[in-house]
Amino acid sequence: MADTAGATPVVRPSLRASLRSWRTGIAAAVLIAPLPGNGIEAAPMLWAAVAGHGVKMAEAFALIPLPDGRTSAVDPATALTDAMHYVQDGRGGLVARGAARDRIAADIRAADIHDVIVGPMGARTEMVAFFRDLFGRPPESVGGVEIWRDVNVAGVVPAT
């Protein structure tokens, strides 16, 4: 049996209602934390389905073809996903600087991410702080989630 300690909550009635509030203003390409990774962290896909969202998720739990012909159950590692996994795995907060910040910004552009959502998860405070630092602004709080909209326009700000 999988270890579910610290797992992301699935849809509760109060969360279901708040998910529907995401619909207004959510762009086509969305990054949702937590990332899937161990088979039990697929909650963001369930949240989107319950809310009736037809969004393009920058990450998902699926068999994904790799350049070498093999498949993977998670997205190929990038600077962005490595940083997010570091935070969500409870290894502490993370502040990206220098070349790492540049690679994360490039990953966000390459995936054409428009909005970033941090939902219920372990290490939520640290994940929100990570994105707040990247985008240089606080998120919008909507129905129990934190959203940074239009990150494809505003981008990652220079480190302070």
In the chain, domain spans:
13-149
**In the prediction, which pLDDT does 138 show?**
97
The overall average pLDDT reported for the chain is 77
Q: Is the pTM of this model over 0.85?
A: no
Return the higher-pLDDT residue of 23 and 93.
93
Question: What would the mean pLDDT of 77-86 be, rounded to a whole number?
Answer: 91
For residue 65, cis peptide bond before it (omega within 30 degrees of 0): no
Is the pLDDT at 38 greater than 60? The verdict is: no
Question: Hey, what are 137's tokens?
Answer: 């602004």
Helices (H), 27-155: 43-51, 79-88, 98-110, 124-135, 151-154
For 65, phi and psi rounded to 5 degrees? Answer: -70, 135
